[in-house]
Structure formats: structure tokens, C-alpha cells
């Protein structure tokens, strides 16, 4: 995100490009503009509750996991529990937002909203509230972590199997089709035994090691 403080000409150009301060604020928030620019537009008179199709600037900020912009809007008096057409508040959008696993900006934004007084006793049109969404998100993250751990474990086991196969000199045989390896094992049978046995009997006899 840009960090330089915008000058008056840049702000004038941003407003002129979209026609109003509120629209410039929404454009700035949704495109990852600097906190400086957001604060400057608010100082010029842009509404912290500016919205496009009922998605407020605050909702855009929290979905982008931008703590600086979120705080700027909160400081300017953004309405915490304003709902979108789905009945979701900014806190609900923050819970549903995505950020890299090692990046705690999403959690930071949620704490900002809670510290500012965002309600947890509120429900969307689907009758789910922030706590419901939080539990679902945790389950989703737990599943993703489990799948990742399982994949890593499986990869390590596969590498170990390859190493053991290489050390025993049978690397290529592991990749051979089962049918070919079975046929080679069956070649040890006497010709008369092979001709008198069907395929199923052959495999059964070979597996039981009953032929000398």
C-alpha cells in the first residue's frame, strides 16, 4: 500500500475523476490507497459512511484487511453495525475475509471493530451471526491445516519409499504394472501346471506359494 502523503493536486484529481468526495473515498479504499489519502479525503468532507450498493467504505476496508484505513474510518465516525443487502455488518465481513496464514491483519481488524464496540448479537438474512461465522471459519481453517499436514506427511512417506526402493535396487520394478510383475512370478510354474490352470487359479496358487 502507498505510504506517501498525497498533495492537494492529487486529491483534486481523484475527486474530479469520479465526481464526488464520497466516490473518491470509496475508490481509494477499494483500490488499496494509503491511509494518508483516506484521512485526507475524510478531512475534506467525505462521509465515513459512504457506500456503493450498500457496501460501505468500512466493509471494503475490512474485507481488504487494512487496519490503517479501518482505523481512519472508525476515527471519522463510521457506523459499525451498518448492514449490507445480506444483513452482514463490517465485523461479519472481517470474519469472512481472507489473508495469508502468516498475516494476522484480519485478526487485527476484527479486534479493532470489537474494541470500537461492534455488536456480536446481530444476524444476517440467513440468521447467522458473527459467532456462527467465526466457528465456521475456524473449522474451515482447521480442515485446511489438517489437509496440508496430511499432504506433507504423505509426501515424506513417498520420498522414504523411493529411497528404500533405490537402496534395494528395485526402483524400476516399483513402477512396473502389477500384471507384468505377476506374469513374471508365474513364469516359475512348470509348463504343464500353467496350461492346466486358469488365470484365477494361477494367481491363487502363485500367491499361496503352494507350487514347488
Contact 74, 59 (CB under 8 A): no
Mean pLDDT of the chain: 80
pLDDT of residue 156: 83
Dist. CA 102–CA 93, nearest whole Å: 20
pLDDT of residue 125: 96
The pLDDT tens digits of the residues spanning 136-187 come to: 988 888 888 888 788 788 788 778 877 877 665 554 444 455 455 555 555 5
DSSP string computed for 148-191: HHHHHHHHHHHHHHHHHHHHTT-HHHHTS-HHHHHHHHHTTS-H
pLDDT of residue 89: 96
pLDDT of residue 137: 86
The pLDDT tens digits of the residues spanning 192-207 come to: 444 444 444 434 444 4
The pLDDT tens digits of the residues spanning 42-61 come to: 999 999 999 988 889 999 99
DSSP string computed for the chain: ---SPP-HHHHHHHHHHHSSHHHHHHHHHHTT--HHHHHHHHHHT--TT-EETTEEHHHHHHHTT-HHHHHHHHHTT--TT---TTS--HHHHHHH----TT--HHHHHHHHHHHHT--SS---TTS--HHHHHHHHHHHHHHHHHHHHHHHHHHHHHHHHHHHHHHTT-HHHHTS-HHHHHHHHHTTS-HHHHHHS-HHHHHHHHHHT---
pLDDT of residue 146: 81
The pLDDT tens digits of the residues spanning 18-38 come to: 999 999 999 999 998 899 999
Q: Which of 23, 26, 105 minimizes the C-alpha distance to 66? A: 105
pLDDT of residue 113: 94
Question: What average pLDDT score do residues 106-117 get?
Answer: 92
pLDDT of residue 197: 44
Percent of the chain with pLDDT over 90: 50
Give this prediction's pTM.
0.67
Amino acid at each position: 500500500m502507498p505510504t506517501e502523503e498525497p498533495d492537494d493536486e492529487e486529491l483534486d484529481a481523484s475527486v474530479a475523476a469520479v465526481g464526488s468526495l464520497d466516490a473518491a473515498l470509496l475508490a481509494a479504499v477499494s483500490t488499496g490507497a494509503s491511509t494518508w489519502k483516506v484521512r485526507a479525503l475524510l478531512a475534506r468532507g467525505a462521509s465515513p459512511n459512504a457506500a456503493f450498493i450498500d457496501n460501505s467504505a468500512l466493509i471494503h476496508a475490512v474485507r481488504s484487511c487494512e487496519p490503517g484505513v479501518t482505523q481512519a474510518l472508525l476515527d471519522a465516525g463510521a457506523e459499525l453495525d451498518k448492514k449490507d443487502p445480506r444483513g452482514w455488518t463490517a465485523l461479519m465481513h472481517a470474519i469472512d475475509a481472507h489473508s495469508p496464514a502468516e498475516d494476522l491483519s484480519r485478526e487485527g481488524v476484527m479486534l479493532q471493530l470489537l474494541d470500537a464496540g461492534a455488536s456480536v448479537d446481530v444476524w444476517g438474512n440467513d440468521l447467522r451471526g458473527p459467532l456462527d461465522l467465526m466457528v465456521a471459519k475456524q473449522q474451515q481453517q482447521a480442515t485446511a491445516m489438517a489437509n496440508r499436514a496430511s499432504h506433507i506427511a504423505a509426501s515424506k512417506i513417498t520420498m522414504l519409499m523411493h529411497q528404500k526402493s533405490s537402496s534395494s535396487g528395485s526402483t524400476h520394478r516399483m513402477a512396473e504394472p502389477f500384471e507384468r510383475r505377476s506374469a513374471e512370478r508365474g513364469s516359475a510354474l512348470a509348463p504343464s501346471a500353467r496350461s492346466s490352470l486358469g488365470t484365477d487359479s494361477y494367481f491363487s496358487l502363485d500367491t499361496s506359494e503352494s507350487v514347488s
